Chain A
Amino acid sequence: MVDVPRAAATVRLTHQVGLHARPSVSLTKRAKQFQARIELALQADGPWVDAKSIVKVMATRAPQGALLHFRAEGEDADAAVRGLVALVEGNFETHD
């Protein structure tokens, strides 16, 4: 077994409307910029959904105040998790 880099982090969703349409699109777009497999969950023990799937991310319907758990697996796993946490902490302000 090759040791694949993994990373995980948890961040509180402060965006006022929660993970609705626009934040979901931003999150999915950011996730797609990384090679790593990235998953998102509202509970630490899952269920985990593919953070690159706009349909699944939007379906989580995470409300304001919810904890978002991220985990990633792949060469850029650490950068991916940090990027997504930064996006949530930055209230989904995107500059791309």
Chain B
Amino acid sequence: MTARVGIVVVSHSHEVASGTAAMVRQMVGTEVPLAFCGGDPDGGLGTDVAAILAAIEGAWSESGVAMLVDLGGAETNSEMAIDMLPEERRSRVVICNAPIVEGAVMAATEAWGGACLDEVRRTAEELSAG
């Protein structure tokens, strides 16, 4: 079996990111590579490119990584982090256009079943498509 797609959760709040990851672990299990980050380096609300890069590294899978992010800056900083990845990894990281908590659980469930990165993203985005 090929490696499961990894999941990264990026929130402005450490608690939101940590709580979302806890829901994924409890509901889906620990077999899916999972990492999260939230908050700025001073402990306030925000996102940090270095922390996002570390999270991508932490959840890295040869099958790729699907990211779930919250408000604006989380997305732009995540895009910046992806740009800073080694070139051969860049195309294997996607940001899902989905609500952070629901998207993370849905994406992880799909990843657990061995779906490819594109299927994982589509499953998370199916939510917003209604």
A residues adjacent to B (C-beta < 8 A): 21-22, 25, 28-29, 32, 52-55, 58, 96
B residues adjacent to A (C-beta < 8 A): 26-29, 105-106, 109-110, 112-114, 123, 126-127
Cβ of A55: which chain B residues have Cβ within 8 Å of it?
Answer: 106, 123, 126-127
Chain B contact residues, majority secondary structure: helix
* Nearest-neighbor residue (CB-CB) of A26 within chain B: B27
* Nearest-neighbor residue (CB-CB) of A25 within chain B: B27
Query: A29 touching B109 by the CB < 8 A rule?
Result: yes
Cβ of A25: which chain B residues have Cβ within 8 Å of it?
Answer: 27-28, 105, 109
Q: How far is the CA of A52 from the CA of B28 in the complex (A)?
A: 14
Knowing A25-B105, A53-B123, A55-B123, say if A32 contacts B113 (CB, 8 Å).
yes
Chain A contact residues, majority secondary structure: helix
Question: Would you mind naming 14 contact pairs between A and B with Cβ atoms under 8 Å apart?
Answer: A21-B27, A22-B26, A22-B27, A25-B105, A25-B109, A28-B113, A29-B109, A29-B112, A32-B113, A52-B113, A53-B126, A54-B106, A55-B106, A55-B127
Cβ of A52: which chain B residues have Cβ within 8 Å of it?
Answer: 113
Q: Which 4 A-B pairs have the closest CB atoms?
A: A32-B113, A54-B109, A55-B126, A25-B27
Q: How far is the CB of B27 from chain A (nearest CB, A)?
A: 5
Query: B123 touching A29 by the CB < 8 A rule?
Result: no
Knowing A54-B106, A55-B106, say if A29 contacts B126 (CB, 8 Å).
no
